[in-house]
Structure 1
Amino acid sequence: MLYFLRRLGQAFLVVFIVSLIAFQLGTLIGDPVTAVLGLDATSAARADLREALRLDDPYVVRYARFVADAVQGDFGMSYRAQRPVADVIAERIPATAELAITALIVSLGIGIPLGVVAAIWRESWWASLLMTGSIVGVSLPTFVVGILMIFAFSVTLGWLPSYGRGATVSVGGWETGLLTASGLTALIMPAVSLAVSQVALVARLVRAEMLEVLRMDFIRFARARGLRDRVVHFRHALRNTLLPIITVSGIQIGYLVAFAVVVEQVFQWPGLGTMFLSALTESDIPVITAFLVLIACLFATINLVVDLLYALADPRVRLSRG
């Protein structure tokens, strides 16, 4: 419990620091009055808007008001959409969440078996080929992978749509494209583009951990007991690589959400990434600030959950100690 409270306090500290930085960046990006009224607005109109937005209040007062409202889920009004920021973000979350989760499933579902195979048959030529391919996968920028896939599967072959999310249906207020044919086909290329580098990373990590575990004494004892190779490899060796896999999976979720900006821009995917880029170009400060705080909360929550999952994966981890 003490460990949990300590980690929770650290998570709150991280979110506080990021919110402070995000709020400060919001004051530096541009003039919200100009963003709302434009350059041709009169001095009187500009003064009235500054008073309505309470931009002339002291910095500490404005930040305290921002924190008090943010705790209640109120990030103000979007200058561009003239709607609550929370509503604007809520509309974009399903698209980014489905993209990130699909990419995570692809990266783990392909990367873990590849890493295990490359470790077990490490002397084979195709295991070396897999590792060489993983270096290429890590090195290729995400947007390059996306552009190549568009050229191959949309322009040349015409199999998949090059942009958009496809048709969506509402399930309990959640707009999903996973239940429509066009939504599923539209998801394939963005998810794979986002997952390529992560597949390579997971495969290399799993291979390295598996090779380390296979050298340990308990693996020799398991072989000496006459256990089959399949049992030794997948029940004993793979199980002892769970800690780094949990760590990478947790980091991946935050990475996939935060860095989906590039993929969403390439494929014009209507998620948080395209929203954030539009807000940057239009100096929509409330949206920018809310996005940064949301990502900070996501990373802090994931790191906290990963730390707690250590105890489930490895009983030697004691939550009562730092």
Structure 2
Amino acid sequence: MIAFIIRRFIQAVFVIAVISVIAFAIKQNVGDPIRDITGISVSAAEREAMRDKLGLNDPLLTQYIRFAKDALHGDLGNSFFYKRPAVDVILSKAPATIELVFVSALIIVGLSIPLGVYSAIYPKRFFSRFLMGSSIVGVSIPVFLTAIMMIYLFSIKLGWFPSYGRGELVSLGGWDTGMLTVDGWMHLIMPSVALSSIMLPLFIRLIRSEMMEVLESEYVKYAWAKGLTRRRIWFVHAFKNTLLPVITVGGVQLGITIAFTILTETVFQWQGLGFLFMEAVERADASLLVAYLMFVGIVMVVVNTIVDIIYGVVNPTIRITGAK
């Protein structure tokens, strides 16, 4: 098991190194730091002297090594718009996105498991057929369109929920959260539901298909022959083995959900990382773009590494196969 974890850790480090190369390439090709920190009255000679002073004329390899060393110390440059270190800006916006993704994940897990299991156990019932038809529609509708329709119905027509912002926030040691206030939850519900709408149908269909396959396996038929109760067969023998592929897909989809927050946060004016990313693109704020890419990339690598380790613990054959 230790060797398995070490291999996954080495793979994670390699992927993060690749992400750093991509981030460096973006920083080199998006925006001009000299233009951002100087005025129009600065002469070309002064600009060139400043480029030499900042090392922008050094060979690319030298610049990348310097970039990597600074990144290891948490320095990804300063945002020219916020006039603050880019990492500090990212960390100040991260709580909003983390809370949005967390609540969306709870909705996905809380609904997809019972609905997927039900539709697998009773595939010919009307509700199961309705779920499968609805899931096709749900996958086909873009998340931003779902968000706009929810705003029109629940905010404009019914007036149940606010249409933008995070509402009343409470600071907990630098973490600004809306999950401790009623107003914060009222602002959080619609963005979370909209964000979960793109992944929920996929998970329902995945759990249904995997469990139906498991229910046709030989060891489940043997469990029926032994006279075990239906609940024990469904929820101990079948459901446990259904979760193995779901764990893997779930880890990947969590990272994709973070990416989908760009659309959701833009529609709801949710002041998180996705909204910050769109602002950085519009302003060509290279340092913020790099910091966002590094943050999201590292989060996805860490999540996938943890999922791989959990999968290895749940299914020992993965460790044995990886050792060959």
Identify whether the pair has TM-score above 0.5, normalized to the shorter chain.
Answer: yes
For 1:160 and 1:50, locate their aligned partners in 2 and report how far apart those are by CA, in whole Å: 51
Superposition pairs of residues 163-174 of structure 1, within 5 angstroms: 163-174=164-175
Q: 1:238 to 1:60 in 2, by over 3 A?
A: same
- State the partner residue of 2:195: 194
Cα deviations by residue, 1:211-260 (Å, 9 ceiling, x for unpaired): 00000122122222322212211121111111111112211221111221
Code of the residue aligned with 1:278 in structure 2: it is E
Superposition pairs of residues 11-90 of structure 1, within 5 angstroms: 11-37=12-38, 40-43=40-43, 46-47=47-48, 49-51=50-52, 53-90=54-91
For 2:54 and 2:93, locate their aligned partners in 1 and report how far apart those are by CA, in whole Å: 25
- State the partner residue of 2:218: 217
- Per the TM alignment, residue 55 of structure 1 is displaced from its structure 2 partner at its CA by 2.1
Code of the residue aligned with 2:158 in structure 1: it is L
- Per the TM alignment, residue 302 of structure 1 is displaced from its structure 2 partner at its CA by 1.6
Code of the residue aligned with 1:140 in structure 2: it is I
Cα deviations by residue, 1:90-122 (Å, 9 ceiling, x for unpaired): 101100000011111111111111111111110
8 Å CA contact 1:35–1:282 kept in 2: the answer is: no
Code of the residue aligned with 1:139 in structure 2: it is S
- Per the TM alignment, residue 272 of structure 1 is displaced from its structure 2 partner at its CA by 0.7
- State the partner residue of 2:318: 317
For 2:300 and 2:4, locate their aligned partners in 1 and report how far apart those are by CA, in whole Å: 18
For 1:52 and 1:159, locate their aligned partners in 2 and report how far apart those are by CA, in whole Å: 57
Code of the residue aligned with 1:175 in structure 2: it is D
Cα deviations by residue, 1:108-148 (Å, 9 ceiling, x for unpaired): 11111111111111011221110010111111111011000
8 Å CA contact 1:190–1:267 kept in 2: the answer is: yes
The number of equivalent residue pairs is 321
Cα deviations by residue, 1:252-302 (Å, 9 ceiling, x for unpaired): 221111221111111111111111111111111111111111222122112
8 Å CA contact 1:146–1:263 kept in 2: the answer is: yes
* SS class of match (1:170): strand
- State the partner residue of 1:245: 246
Q: 1:279 to 1:52 in 2, by over 3 A?
A: farther
* SS class of match (2:13): helix
For 1:48 and 1:262, locate their aligned partners in 2 and report how far apart those are by CA, in whole Å: 41
Cα deviations by residue, 1:165-203 (Å, 9 ceiling, x for unpaired): 111111132111100111101111111111011110100
Q: Does 1:137 align with 2:138?
A: yes
- Per the TM alignment, residue 37 of structure 1 is displaced from its structure 2 partner at its CA by 4.0
Code of the residue aligned with 1:68 in structure 2: it is K
Residue identity (%): 43
| Structure 1, unaligned runs of 5 or more | none
RMSD after superposition: 1.7
- State the partner residue of 1:298: 299
| Structure 2, unaligned runs of 5 or more | none
- State the partner residue of 2:268: 267
For 2:127 and 2:3, locate their aligned partners in 1 and report how far apart those are by CA, in whole Å: 48
* SS class of match (1:175): strand
For 1:179 and 1:241, locate their aligned partners in 2 and report how far apart those are by CA, in whole Å: 35
- Per the TM alignment, residue 49 of structure 1 is displaced from its structure 2 partner at its CA by 4.9
Farther off after superposition, 155-164 or 294-303 = 294-303
For 2:35 and 2:284, locate their aligned partners in 1 and report how far apart those are by CA, in whole Å: 9
For 1:274 and 1:37, locate their aligned partners in 2 and report how far apart those are by CA, in whole Å: 27
For 2:47 and 2:106, locate their aligned partners in 1 and report how far apart those are by CA, in whole Å: 50
For 2:270 and 2:55, locate their aligned partners in 1 and report how far apart those are by CA, in whole Å: 35
For 1:83 and 1:30, locate their aligned partners in 2 and report how far apart those are by CA, in whole Å: 17
Farther off after superposition, 47-56 or 107-116 = 47-56
For 1:34 and 1:4, locate their aligned partners in 2 and report how far apart those are by CA, in whole Å: 46
TM score, norm. by length of structure 2: 0.94
- Per the TM alignment, residue 317 of structure 1 is displaced from its structure 2 partner at its CA by 3.0
TM score, norm. by length of structure 1: 0.94
Structure 1 stretches of 4+ moved >4 Å = none
Code of the residue aligned with 2:323 in structure 1: it is R
- Per the TM alignment, residue 34 of structure 1 is displaced from its structure 2 partner at its CA by 2.7
